[in-house]
A and B are shown apart, each in its own frame.
Chain A
Amino acid sequence: MALPLPPSLTPQEVAFLCEMELVTIIPRQKLQGLELLGGSTPVLNPPQRSDIPLWLALLLKRQRRANIVPPAWLHPTSLTAILEFETEHSKEAFSPPPKLPPLSDALHATSPPFLPSSTAEAPPDALPYHWLEMGEILLEAAPEDFEEPDHVRRLMRDLREVRMAKLRTGVEVLDAGGGVKMNGVGAMEIAEARAFIGGVIDGLRKIGASREQARREREAEERENGFLGTQDDEDDDMEL
């Protein structure tokens, strides 16, 4: 039963990834630690805060067993500051992603969704990789845990529009070789733009394929000639 989807991630799959991110909750009842496949969960002891994966937090929230603490970057003041940065200071590039933690284990470098970028202690001044999904999911599932959910919703929409506009104008720099740096881009933004950006780069490549092929052959020839050329010189020297 093969998967009938083109190579990309659907928005649902991106949200599924986002649900693996850690969030901070305030439990409302005691719950023992659970031995799960992906490691054990902390003992929940109200009113002590704990960091657990979003999917589990949503489950607890739905059953009114916990409240979710929105990450610091989802606070209206942080969002306003990030929005200002996106519109005023960085007109072309996205605002930079949160700083990576130092590489403690060289063999096991973690990356989103397994970085603690949406817990209560997460930095307030940067949008993490899963910002759009995280914000939408939390606003949908736990609006009463926000102080001003409508304000946050409005800022999220503004941010999304500003960033989508950047993504669209960024298309102009695309060329056949690819090699476009997109630091700070979000997972959902990639999911949305993947088909278009990939299509443009692949299309340009196919248009320039014959020129590229010619260049590759010329370079190979030059390498060969260069090599032969030096050999000829040596031969000449020998004769002299």
Chain B
Amino acid sequence: MDIDDILAEVSSAALIAPGTRDLHALTRAWVAERVAPELLPYPTPLLDRVLARISEQVRSVEDGMAGGADGLGGAATGGADKEKFRLIVVQTELERWKFLVRGLLRARLKKIDAHPYHILNTPDVLAKLSTSETQYLRAHQALLAAHYKSSFLGQFPPALQRLDDTAGGVSMIDAPDVDSAVFVRAVRDVGFITVEGTDTEFEMKRGDVWVVRWRSVRQAVESGDAELI
């Protein structure tokens, strides 16, 4: 071991490992997506990294299992036991990461299913979807529309067949309620938050927990100064 290795070890101990960073970010993203009333931007770089890490770990577990099966006859029982336990730990952690990813994507799917026309008609929201989510949304809606048309909409007068009618002052397009109350915690000092249309105004300092309308803290959450809890 030369001096560079020692230095690298010291500095990596002081800094946070990239894997740990991703775990923190993924956990935060999962919680935020679970509790936010509307769809949040798809964290493309984070999920790309996380999925790459997961598949790499799956490969190494498979290698480890193959190696364990080969070495089982020759190795001492104590060694084989340790190796088995190591694999259990690695797999447990792997499942925890997979749960986070699955939870994040399923929470997003729920919101996509809940407000399909709102998303399709609002370019800003559509930009928050990943490529496969957009693909799913379009294909799913095309299927649904065809099904509704053949089963009952086709028998309605043509003027009443639309699913996204906004005429007559009442819109058929449901949108998420961005004024819902959320629990939010400041990760850094956020500054003053004002709630539009009311007298509510307050300062949010690092570590503070507030219950407030999503609309008034959305910007702080998206910039990473605050997190949903």
Contacts and interface: CB of A to CB of B under 8 A. Distances in A.
Nearest to B16: A108
Given A37-B53, A40-B17, A113-B27, A197 B206 contact: no
A7 B227 contact: no
A164 interface: no
Given A185-B209, A197-B181, A13 B34 contact: yes
Given A1-B106, A37-B57, A198-B180, A177 B27 contact: no
Given A34-B90, A39-B20, A111-B187, A181 B35 contact: no
Interface size, B (range): 35 or more
Interface in B105-161: 106-107, 109-110, 112-113
A105 B188 CA distance: 11
B89 A36 contact: yes
Interface of B: 15-17, 19-24, 27-28, 31, 34-37, 53-54, 57, 82, 85-86, 88-90, 92-94, 96-97, 99, 103, 106-107, 109-110, 112-113, 177, 179-183, 185, 187-188, 193, 195-202, 206-213, 216, 227, 229
B110 A37 contact: no
A240 interface: no
Interface of A: 1-5, 7-9, 13, 16-17, 19-20, 31-32, 34, 36-41, 55-56, 59, 63, 65, 97, 100, 103, 105-106, 108-111, 113-114, 174-185, 187, 190, 194, 197-198, 201-202, 205, 212-213, 215-216
